[in-house]
Amino acid sequence: MTENSTLGTDWALSWIRECARTVGENRSELVRLDREIGDGDHGENLDRGFTAVLQKLDASEPATPADVFKLVATTLISTVGGAAGPLFGTAFLKGSAAISGVDELDADALVAFLAAARDGVVARGKAEVGDKTMIDAWTPAVEAARSEQESGGDAHAVLSAAADAAEEGAASTEPLVARKGRASYLGERAVGHRDPGAQSSALLFRAAAETAGS
Ligand code: ADP
Ligand code: MG
């Protein structure tokens, strides 16, 4: 379907608005997860950040997807405290740089965006898969996106594959001991709990797929 073969600024705006909606809807669940293995602020942090993002978007006219994501990045970095604000901010900043000046994102550009975003989180937080962090959602998502793109999937298929993998990745954090972030202070007590940042990352990936159409 040609209407889904590329995604432009309108999609970028819809995605970010859907991120704000789903983060708001899941705020107490994210707080609960972070209360179990952290300090309980993850849902509040992200909700505050995406609420600020909506206000900034309403007051600006971004021309390209990269402009949208850069505004998201700077707003998250300046309004979200804790570990997740700078990490998600870096993801959107590095992702934005990878698609600078591109008006319409095809499957290839989406993979470049996601991979650069993930690399930014790794460069900043130094987490690897298995450390029980958001990287356990991001890395499988990027790999699934790339493999879907290589087998000829369009933009929507790439984002759907990423969302499925991110959800599986978030679930995969449950049996793990954390090696990064606050949860790493808990040792074995973190086992049996899902990482909040991996869960919120999965929500953002699902929002991307859903707003990309069917
Ligand atoms: P804080 O831990 O400062 O309270 P949040 O609660 O907002 O911040 O975010 C916690 C989430 O941040 C964790 O669930 C984890 O996914 C992520 N995180 C923490 N440290 C790292 C890191 N070094 N690399 C990647 N993600 C991390
Ligand atoms: Mg926290």
Give the pLDDT confidence score for residue 81 in this predicted structure: 83
- 3-state SS string for the chain: CHHHCCECHHHHHHHHHHHHHHHHHCHHHHHHHHHHHCCCCHHHHHHHHHHHHHHHHHCCCCCCHHHHHHHHHHHHHHHCCCCHHHHHHHHHHHHHHHCCCCCCECHHHHHHHHHHHHHHHHHHHCCCCCCCCCHHHHHHHHHHHHHHHHCCCCHHHHHHHHHHHHHHHHHCCCCCCCCCCHHHHHHHHHCCCCCHHHHHHHHHHHHHHHHCCC
Q: Which atom of ligand 1 is nearest to the CA of 41?
A: 6
Ligand 1 atom closest to residue 136's alpha carbon, by position in its atom list:
16
Question: How high does pLDDT run on average in the chain?
Answer: 95
- Asked whether residue 134 is assigned to any structural domain, the reply reads yes
> Would you say residue 191 lies in a domain?
yes
Per the domain annotation, does 4 fall within a domain? no
Which residues span the domain enclosing 58? 9-212
Predicted local distance difference test score (pLDDT) of residue 82: 87
* C-beta 83 within 6 A of ligand 1: yes
Instruction: Verify whether ligand 1 is closer than 6 Å to residue 84 (CB atom).
Output: yes
Q: Answer whether residue 1 is part of any domain.
A: no
Residue 190, pLDDT > 50, answer yes
Residue 35 reports pLDDT greater than 90:
yes
Structural domain includes residue 82:
yes
2 in any annotated domain: no
Average pLDDT over residues 81-92: 94
pTM assigned to the model: 0.97
pLDDT tens digits for 142-171?
999 999 999 999 999 999 999 999 999 999
Please report, for the domain that includes residue 133, its CATH number. 1.25.40.340
Per-residue pLDDT, 1: 42
128 CB near ligand 1 (under 6 Å): no
Binned at pLDDT 50, 70 and 90, residue 214 comes out as: low
Query: According to the model, what pLDDT value does residue 62 have?
Result: 96
Please give the distance, rounded to the nearest whole angstrom, from the Cα atom of residue 123 to the centre of ligand 2: 20
Number of domains in the chain: 1
188 part of a folded domain: yes
pLDDT for 68 beyond 90: yes
Does ligand 1 come within 6 angstroms of the Cβ of 169? Answer: no
Q: Is residue 3 part of a domain?
A: no
**pLDDT of 126-140, one tens digit each?**
999 999 999 999 999
